[in-house]
Structure 1
Amino acid sequence: MDAMRRRRIIGILFMVEVAGALPAMTCSVVGYRFNLTASAPRGLWRIEAMYRSAAVGDLVFICPPDTATFENAFGRGYLGLGLCPGGLAPLLKTIAAIPGQHVTTGKDVVIDGKHLASSDIRHTDGQGRAVVPFAGGTIPQGYLFLHSTTANSYDSRYFGPVPASGLLGYARPIITFHF
């Protein structure tokens, strides 16, 4: 399928989703976001402005870049629709590495020689489809390596570092549920 056709399909799906999820979209516009994924507790979250540079350990909302990798992730159901470029929802992840840090992948993720907790690498998703882990390397300037402790999370273990320019702000829970 060519890129233009994919964009049209995504646009149509986006319009259908908007009609069915206008309240959730309104919350996103005014700085709130519903998280319905397992990457973090489900519920209502607030997006707070960042008044300093992003740091390891910050829990953030960040827009994924508008790339074929994320279009494919959307097609597989890893990502939802939202107001980010490409019509995707922002990611809710913890920053695990910042520019200059070195990431290696094998059985799990190692950052600057230290194993990252809850970072086992999978080679198939929940439906048995192949997933390719990030090859590793030094995080370049302007990029961040994201992580979630959920075993089946789609995070930088698989898509690699993402542009920090997509940062929307800190993620602060308002009302969350653990189920």
Structure 2
Amino acid sequence: MTDLIESRRAMTTQRQRAAVILSAAMFAAVVLVATALVGGYRINLTPSEPLGLWRIVPLHRPVAVNDLVFICPPETAEMREARARGYLRSGSCPGGVAPLIKTVIAVSGQHVEIGVCVSVDGRLIASSNFAPRDGKGRRLMPFPSGDIPPGYVFLHSAFPGSYDSRYFGPLPASGVLGLAQEVLTLAP
């Protein structure tokens, strides 16, 4: 009988230790994630840019062509539809979407033409073919060509299935969170 009582006490002690260790590990994970978010670190799980850990670097100048940026899209009908179709992931931007990682290919005053490919001020953009349908066969509409208005940027990703300004148009530059800097990513 004494052996049974001792055995039960030992099991209870082991469970208490396990609960303390598990609680400490969960607390450490929460602190790590919170610290990473406050420090501007994000994990990219989309194929538009290499998968892995990225950092948002503050931008202390106006956004420029060829900047690779993190940007929050505005909460618009196009973005709500994109979210419903699964093009955008959940996150902390307006409308509950994650920031996009895209390259700025045109800024205010530049002219963008969208046909079979995208051109900016008459210069063709590599890897910018327009896809009339998404991967599930749903129709995609090109953004109408035109000049980029003041305070807006036109975004692009070379990934063939990227959902970028070819489809949703220019976005407000005020949504730029900062430059996108690779920290630890998988090579494409």
TM-score between both structures, scaled by the size of structure 2: 0.81
Q: What is the CA-CA distance between 1:27 and the residue it aligns to? A: 3.3
Show the counterpart of 2:143: 134
Q: CA RMSD in A?
A: 1.7
Aligned to 1:60: 69
C-alpha displacement of 1:86 = 1.2
Give the structure 2 partner of residue 89 of structure 1: 98
Match of 1:149 among 158, 161, 185: 158
How far does the alpha carbon of each residue in 1:65-114 deviate from its partner, in whole angstroms, 9 at most, with x for none?
Answer: 01111011011110011111111100000000000000011110011001
110, 124, 127: which is aligned to 1:115?
124
Distance 1:124 1:82 in 2: 25
- Aligned equivalent of 1:74: 83
Gaps of 5+ in 1: 1-20
Q: In the aligned structure 1, how far is the partner of 2:154 from the partner of 2:31?
A: 31
More helix by share: 2
Tell me how far apart the structure 2 counterparts of residues 22 and 132 of structure 1 sit (CA, whole Å).
Answer: 43
What SS does structure 1 have at the residue aligned with 2:90?
coil
| Structure 1 segments (4+ residues) deviating >4 Å | 21-26
- Gaps in structure 2 of 5+ consecutive residues: 1-29
**Shift of residue 55, structure 1, vs aligned partner:** 0.6
Change beyond 3 A, Cα 1:26–1:83 = farther
Contact 1:24–1:34 (8 Å) recurs in 2: no
Contact 1:32–1:45 at 8 Å: present in 2 too? yes
Q: Residues of 2 paired with 1:138 and 1:106: CA distance?
A: 15
Residues 22 and 164 of structure 1: CA distance in aligned 2, closer, same or farther (over 3 Å): farther
Match of 1:157, SS state, is helix
> CA offsets per residue over residues 114-172 of structure 1, 9 Å max, x none?
10111000100011110101111000001000000001100001000000110100000
Say which SS state the counterpart of residue 153 (structure 2) adopts.
strand
How many angstroms apart in 2 are the aligned matches of 1:148 and 1:22?
33
Matched letter for residue 127 of structure 2:
S
From the superposition, tell whether residues 29 and 82 of structure 1 become closer, same or farther in structure 2 (CA, over 3 Å): farther
- Give, as a single letter, the amino acid of the residue that structure 2 aligns with 1:70: M
Question: Structure 1 residue 25: deviation in Å?
Answer: 7.1
| Identical positions, percent | 55
Tell me by how many angstroms 1:24 deviates. 5.9
Matches within 5 A, 1:12-91: 27-91=36-100
Amino acid at match of 2:136: Q
> For residues 122 and 23 of structure 1, do their structure 2 counterparts lie closer, same or farther at Cα, with a shift above 3 Å needed?
farther
Q: Distance in 2 between matches of 1:25 and 1:135?
A: 40
| Bigger CA radius of gyration | 2
